[in-house]
Amino acid sequence: MAQKFKKELTLEELAALPDEAINTSDIPELDENFWANARVVMPKERGKTQITAKFDADMVEWFKRQGRGYQGRMNAVLRSFYEAKRDLKH
């Protein structure tokens, strides 16, 4: 059972909690409707580094089917994940 906290936790304190101690009851599930209305927010232009990387073929094909700029959209998705996780200590 998740417990109530007297003060807002820092990112470090939250990251140290076991999953079962975090109350997520007020967070709706990400259902098909969420994904149907989701959109990629392209980050501001930054310096780019060219690399060679391997991705699952079906994923790359899906991004390509979205049209021109698929690599930028893939980068935007990765950046979103990075920004959500970069300050966590693990």
Average pLDDT over residues 20-43: 82
Among 38, 9, 36, residue whose Cα is nearest residue 23: 9
Beta carbons of 73 and 42 less than 8 angstroms apart: yes
Average pLDDT over residues 52-59: 96
Higher pLDDT, 4 or 1: 4
Residue 90: both structure tokens together? 């693990």
Distance of CA 46 to the CA centre of its chain: 19
User: Which pLDDT band holds residue 64 (cuts at 50, 70, 90)?
Assistant: very high
Domain boundaries, the chain: 11-85
Opening angle at CA 33, ends 58 and 44, nearest 5 = 65
Opening angle at CA 73, ends 86 and 55, nearest 5 = 80
Mean pLDDT, the chain, rounded, equals 85
Q: 25 pLDDT exceeds 60?
A: yes
| Model pTM above 0.75 | no
